Structure 1
Amino acid sequence: MGLTYKSILVAVDGSKEAEWAFKKAIEISKRNDAKLVIAHVIDTRNFATIEAYDRTMAERSESYAQELLQEYKQAAEESGVHTVQVEIEYGSPKVKVPKDLAKKHATDLIVCGATGLNAVERFLIGSVSEHITRYAPCDVLVVRTQKE
């Protein structure tokens, strides 16, 4: 077992931090000739706050996710990553990414952006990247810097 990664999972949410994480994940995938799984988790807790569960909001979230992932998939393939998969999951990103998605894809590296929460939010709910780091069964790279 060398120090190479075979299956890399990158969580994207449309933020600029996620974009940096994605770019770094591409580089690592190419260096290791690894499979790249690009995942977006639709946070269903956002829907729970709406009185009557709003179907159009759910559908909008899903079509946004599909568009986002198609763009990312194309970019990864054009950059020279051989195996690219996309995944849309529903639930809480900080649980789905480290527990379900990592297991499903036998992930050995999770790449995520440092989430831009303010101090109060971080205190109340803990950042997604913090949770991923705590519960992941594998290495985690939290990307804080912009890729040139």
Structure 2
Amino acid sequence: MSENYSKIVVGTDGSKSSMLAVERAAKIAAAFDATLIIGCAYYENKEEASKTLRQDSVTILGDDTAQQNLADASDNARGAGATKIETTVRAGAPVEALMQIVNDTNADLLVVGNRGINSLTGRLLGSVPADVARQSDCDVMIVHTIA
């Protein structure tokens, strides 16, 4: 494992919280001259979305919404100083999608917001930040985006 980050993954669902995580990840990417990979998960239909009990992430139906979220996040990342930006979408739940992106890209760092980590649902069922922290083989930074 190198001392520098070369590939940084951050997830977005289009929310204000996730955009703060994107901005923080972009600043880190700029500092390390790293590639920032912005990912967005989406559900292909309402039946798939209803299988999840999570309330800590925005439910994104369809690839078009995911692509728009990525375009907005890319603009924010550029504004925060990142120059090497890639985007990717994955069908499925946010945790699984982020883990796929991290593994597919051999990322060194995963950045997520803290939404859901302190909620009752998050404590009972798990939250995206807590679950990715447990499952990830790379460093995970949980950005304090929600008090």
Shorter-chain TM-score: what band? Answer: 0.7 to 0.9
Task: Give the structure with the larger helix fraction.
Answer: 1
Contact 1:11 1:111 in 2 (8 A): yes
1:69-88 aligned within 5 A: 69-88=70-89
- 1:89 matched residue in structure 2: 90
- 2:6 matched residue in structure 1: 6
- 1:33–1:23 CA distance, 2 compared to 1 (3 A): same
| Identical-residue share of aligned pairs (%) | 28
CA-CA distance at 1:6 after TM superposition: 0.2
1:12-91 aligned within 5 A: 12-43=12-43, 46-48=46-48, 49=50, 61-91=62-92
Contact 1:45 1:92 in 2 (8 A): no
- Kindly name which structure, 1 or 2, has the bigger radius of gyration based on alpha carbons: 1
Contact 1:45 1:91 in 2 (8 A): no
- 1:44–1:28 CA distance, 2 compared to 1 (3 A): same
Deviation per CA, 1:44-66: give whole Å up to 9, x if none.
Answer: 5853349xxxxxxxx95321111
Q: CA RMSD, aligned part only?
A: 2.6
Contact 1:44 1:92 in 2 (8 A): no
Query: Structure 1 stretches of 5 or more lacking a match?
Result: 51-58
CA-CA distance at 1:36 after TM superposition: 0.3
Give the TM-score taking structure 1 as reference length: 0.80
- 2:112 matched residue in structure 1: 112
Give the TM-score taking structure 2 as reference length: 0.81
Higher alpha-carbon deviation: 10-19 or 71-80: 71-80
In 1, the alpha carbon distance for the partners of 2:45 and 2:121 equals 15
CA-CA distance at 1:2 after TM superposition: 4.7
